[in-house]
Amino acid sequence: MKKKEVIFIISILASALLLWGIMLLIRKGDYGSVRITVNGEEYGTYSLSQDQVISIGETNVCEIRDGQIKMIGADCPDHLCIKQKAVGSSGGTIVCLPNKVVIEGVKAAGSEESSPEFDTAV
Amino acid sequence: MNHKKTAYLGLFAAVAIIFGYVESLIPFFAGIPGMKLGLANLAVLFILEKYTWKEAALVSAVRILVIGFLFGNMFSILYSLAGAALSLAVMTLMKKFSGFSILGISVAGGVSHNIGQLIVAALIVENTSLLYYAPALLISGVVTGLLIGLLTGEVTKRIRL
């Protein structure tokens, strides 16, 4: 491998790590609820403290239990969303691409004041 | 297009389709949607090395359509086409202008493939929170690109068309 290729690869890895660090900082906080969007439109926001099973349209089913949300049913063939990590108090995202369903952690109402610098930056 | 080339392109399109199928059997999933080995890129990269981007694009398009209709759906075809088109464009430019070896070209292809798919995915679900996957997909693009580049380099040395 040539020297410039090594530099090229290292710079990609470095920018990935930098991006990751920035995202960790932005995402830091306590996530008390989740927002479900279908097709880019909000389907609903649910508290993670209340155990329940939510049907998202006719395509997906997710479950909130023990402060975490998981996709438990989908009518698409690959079921990748069911294998994705549960979203809990540290936030995260579950995506079902074929059905355009996105579940994402939302910060609890109280935590917004604790990190105002990130709110202005977004 | 001469007969020999037609036969080879058909052969490698078939190889790419088989690779795509084999990959769908491997339960490799790291919690990030879109992360995979990209075995089929081996055939595309090989064709790009031996012929030009036009032949590589043909093999790539045939593979995506066949795999899509056999195992996927309209959306998976769309994601694959976006990733493959960006990846092939970047690899062609790198091959022409960068002076990189097949390893560097493959890494550039792997990374740009992942970026292309991520952008299309974010556009389709209309949600930018998908972009949080970008760092993981960048790194996996480098790793799989290196692997596929190594393999393709070895195959290119051994097969003469």
At A62, list the tokens: 């997710």
DSSP annotation of A86 reads: P
Interface confidence, given as ipTM, is 0.82
Domains present along chain A, CATH in parentheses: 30-108 (2.60.320.10)
Q: Which residues pair with A54 in a beta bridge?
A: A62
CB contact under 8 A, A104 and B99: no
Query: Count of domains in chain B?
Result: 1
Read off the pLDDT of residues A42-98 as tens digits, 9 standing for 90 and up.
899 999 988 999 998 888 999 999 989 999 988 877 777 888 888 888 888 888 888
CB contact under 8 A, B29 and A15: no
* CATH code assigned at B93: 1.10.1760.20
Helix (H), strand (E) at residue A95: strand A93-96
At A31, list the tokens: 């996530």
If interface means Cβ-Cβ distance under 8 Å, which residues of chain B face chain A?
29, 31, 33, 71-73, 75-76, 79, 98-101, 103-104, 107-108, 111, 121, 124-127, 129-130, 132-136, 138-139, 141-142, 146
**Containing structural domain, residue B154:** 3-158
Q: What is the rounded distance in angstroms from the CA atom of residue B127 to the CA atom of residue A110?
A: 24
Phi then psi dihedrals of residue B56, to 5 deg: -65, -40
Of A57, A64, A74, the closest CA to residue A31 belongs to A64
Evaluate if residue A115 carries a pLDDT over 70. no
* CB contacts, 8 Å: A9 with chain B: 104, 107, 142, 146
Tally A–B CB contacts below 8 A.
Answer: 97
CB contact under 8 A, B126 and A4: no
Instruction: Kindly report the nearest CA distance between residue B1 and chain A, in angstroms.
Output: 34
CB contact under 8 A, B108 and A102: no
* pLDDT at residue B132 in the model: 84
pLDDT along chain B (161 residues), means of 10: 88 92 71 74 93 95 90 80 94 92 95 91 83 89 94 92 76
Q: What are the helix and strand counts (H, E) for chain A? A: 3, 7
